[in-house]
Amino acid sequence: MHTTQHDTVVVLDFGAQYSQLIARRVREQGVYSLIVPYTISAQELRKMAPVGIIFSGGPASVSTEDSPRPDAGIYGLGIPVLGICYGLQVMSVMNGGTVRRPDAREYGFAHLHLNHFTGKTSRLLAGIPEGSQLWMSHGDSVVDLPTGFVTTGSTPNCPVTVAENEARRLYGVQFHPEVVHSTDGTAVLRNFVMDICGAKADWSMESFIATEVERIRSVVGDRKVLCGLSGGVDSSVAAVLIHKAIGDQLVCVFVNNGMLRKNEAQNVVDLFGKHFNMRLEYVDAETAFLDALKGIAEPEAKRKIIGKMFVDVFYDAARSLGDISFLAQGTLYPDVIESRSPSGGPSATIKSHHNVGGLPDDLKWELLEPLKELFKDEVRQLGMELGLAEELVNRHPFPGPGLGVRCIGEVTKERLDTLREVDAIFVEEIRRAGLYGDIWQALACLLPVKSVGVQGDERTYREVCSLRAVTSQDAMTADWYRFPPEVLQTTASRICNEVAGVNRVLYDITSKPPGTIEWE
């Protein structure tokens, strides 16, 4: 379990949609926060010595037999606890209160009524105005609070919206302070974290660099690290951070898998070779990857082959690099959290994200993942702090399997070349319109479909491409980007004019869910 010198707020995850958001909101206050499964014992928590504990919401109902319960010892640790939604409900029933499922459920907006009570002021609601907009999502409600608790806020449908037991340092809210639709939610969390828990705001990327550099040095010692470098944000930031710690004990391997964007290979080699002073091995494995993918159209099969090829190429490269002990990756916190569900149960595999290969179980190196407790926006901040160019730091994410999962159907060199041109025009037009920064990710796919067109009075029968641009916070959900029509118009006509082989352009207006961001 992670221990840190920073004041820490621990979020117990009861399976909420928003656990990550809670941790983010706390970190935005400059206070370190991490998420643990709700099954953690009071003793383990005591060892972590957090300044505060937050119970997340969750899909279960406390009235069911097997609903998740935290260790009851947590209430006696003397550490302030804030329960959110399910967190409030479970804290109430475990301390002698009652929760019921009334007829009127509450999903969406509500307005807070402050219950002023004699002689005391609510610490949780300090500075929050009467009528403040709240966002609710619950079927159950607390109807009787345990002894010692008072209700400091309510809504017409929910008498116990905010509950506090000052003496035992137990607090709860039925609404979701972590979502932006709760207008004063951040202020409520700040009251909890800063005032009630008395946390020091000492979490910054600057402090992170110092601690992490030390940690990497002590873990790695005099051994060697291989970092798969893609030129994307995560692996670049990871590489620069590790390089800062261990210098030339780090070797970066950049693989041209034949599925990179136009000019990408050259750009990455130039940028890292010239500016970063790191050891960079460039491996041209285009032929090997494309040979391995010959005749394969099924998306998961493609992903698995690409993943395996990556690891093979790394092993191969390592032969001439001396004794490698670690494989470094740019794994982020959401990757870690998503891969473990609170109940420990399996969740559906939507697609095998390759993260260097859907790594084999018997990987012969240890993993070094210095970003695994950071969110993407923190990684970007860290990159800036480490002196990476803004243009690199703010790049759109690009998946490891690259254009391979955007060439729908079989992947061939010819189709990849076509797609590279389409993709380059799309990104160029987005940049020209000044929209790159507004869009979370933009991509083009080549479809395994031909359509009839008329170009220069001649009949054409050519391939179809689709363009997709999305807005998102963390890639878990996404919405399609509303382009000014002129941008789509220019892009579409340039594609049909300049890319031989394509005579039709579609724009994808599917949100996630139901669509994923990539097509495969």
Ligand X SMILES: O=c1[nH]c(=O)c2[nH+]cn([C@@H]3O[C@H](COP(=O)(O)O)[C@@H](O)[C@H]3O)c2[nH]1
Ligand Y SMILES: NC(=O)CC[C@H](N)C(=O)O
Q: Which is nearer to Mg ion, 169 or 376 (CB)?
A: 376
Phi, psi dihedrals of residue 118, rounded to the nearest 5°? -60, 140
- 391 catalytic? Reply is no
Question: Is residue 516 near ligand X by the rule CB under 6 A?
Answer: yes
**What does 512 bind: ligand ATP, ligand Y, ligand X, none (CB cut-off 5 to 8 Å by kind)?**
ligand X
* Tokens linked to 165: 């037991």
Q: Quick one: DSSP state of residue 388?
A: -
Cβ at position 267, least distance to Mg ion in Å: 13
The count of residues in the chain is 520
229 binds ligand Y (CB under 6 A): no
Among 261, 351, 395, 450, binds ligand X (CB under 6 A): 351
Partner in contact with 86, chosen from ligand Y, ligand X, ligand ATP, none, beta carbon below 5 to 8 Å by kind: ligand Y
Query: Does 15 help bind ligand Y (rule: CB under 6 A)?
Result: no
Does the annotation flag 236 for ligand binding?
yes
Edge-to-edge order in the sheet of strand 170-173:
32-37, 8-13, 52-55, 81-84, 170-173, 158-165, 150-155, 113-114
Q: Which of 220, 213, 217 is nearest to 240 (CA)?
A: 213
- Which residue is catalytic, options 176, 212, 227, 465? 176
Binding Mg ion (rule: CB under 5 A), the pick from 14, 38, 333, 398 is: 398
Q: What is the C-alpha R_g of the chain?
A: 26
Give the contact letters, 466-485, x = binds to ligand X (CB under 6 A), - = no: ---------x----------
Site for ligand X contains 517 (CB under 6 A) = yes
Strand 32-37, strand 8-13: pairing: parallel
Q: Residue 61's binding partner, choosing from Mg ion, ligand Y, ligand X, none, with beta-carbon cut-off 5 to 8 A by kind? A: ligand Y
Measured between alpha carbons, how far is 163 from 114 in angstroms, rounded to an integer? 11
**What single letter denotes the amino acid at residue 480?**
W
Reported for 113-119, long-range contacts at CB under 8 A and 24+ positions apart, including other chains, are 113/153, 113/154, 113/155, 113/156, 114/152, 114/153, 115/150, 115/151, 115/152, 115/153, 115/154, 117/150, 117/152
Query: Does 71 show up as a binding residue in the annotation?
Result: no
**Smallest separation (angstroms) from ligand X to the CB of 353:** 4
Query: Binding residue for ligand X (CB under 6 A) from 354, 406, 415, 468?
Result: 354
Tokens at 162, concatenated: 């905010």
Which residue's Cβ has the minimum distance to ligand Y?
Answer: 57
Residue 320 annotated as lining a ligand binding site: no
Q: Which residues, other chains included, contact 283 with Cβ-Cβ below 8 Å and sequence gap of 6+?
A: 253, 254, 255, 256, 313, 316, 317
Does the footprint of ligand Y cover residue 102 (CB under 6 A)?
Answer: no
Provide the β-strand partners of residue 106. 138
Site string for ligand X, 98-127 (x = CB under 6 A): ------------------------------
**In angstroms, what is the minimal distance from the CB of 508 to ligand ATP?**
20
Q: Are 310 and 356 in contact (CB under 8 A)?
A: yes
Nearer to ligand X, 233 or 246 (CB): 233
Comparison of 22 and 443: residue with beta carbon closer to ligand ATP = 443
Closest distance of CB 461 from Mg ion, Å: 35
**Is residue 236 involved in binding ligand X (CB under 6 A)?**
no
Residue 177 interacts with ligand Y (CB under 6 A): yes or no: no
Least distance from ligand X to the Cβ atom of residue 263, Å:
19
The answer to whether 232 is a known ligand-binding residue is yes
Tell me: does residue 232 bind Mg ion (CB under 5 A): yes
Does residue number 135 form part of the binding site for ligand Y (CB under 6 A)? no
The whole-angstrom distance between residue 185's C-alpha and the CA centroid of its chain comes to 21
User: Which helix (H) or strand (E) segment is 45 a member of?
Assistant: helix 42-48
Catalytic residue among 106, 178, 212, 369: 178
Task: Enter the tokens of residue 167.
Answer: 């003496």
Q: Which among 230, 233, 271, 225 is positioned nearest to 251, based on CA atoms?
A: 225
176 is catalytic: yes
So which residues are the catalytic ones?
Answer: 85, 176, 178
* Annotated binding-site residue numbers for ATP: 230-236
Q: Which residues bind ligand X (CB under 6 A)?
A: 351, 353-355, 397, 399-401, 441, 475, 512, 516-518
Q: Which residues bind ligand Y (CB under 6 A)?
A: 16, 57-61, 85-86, 137-140
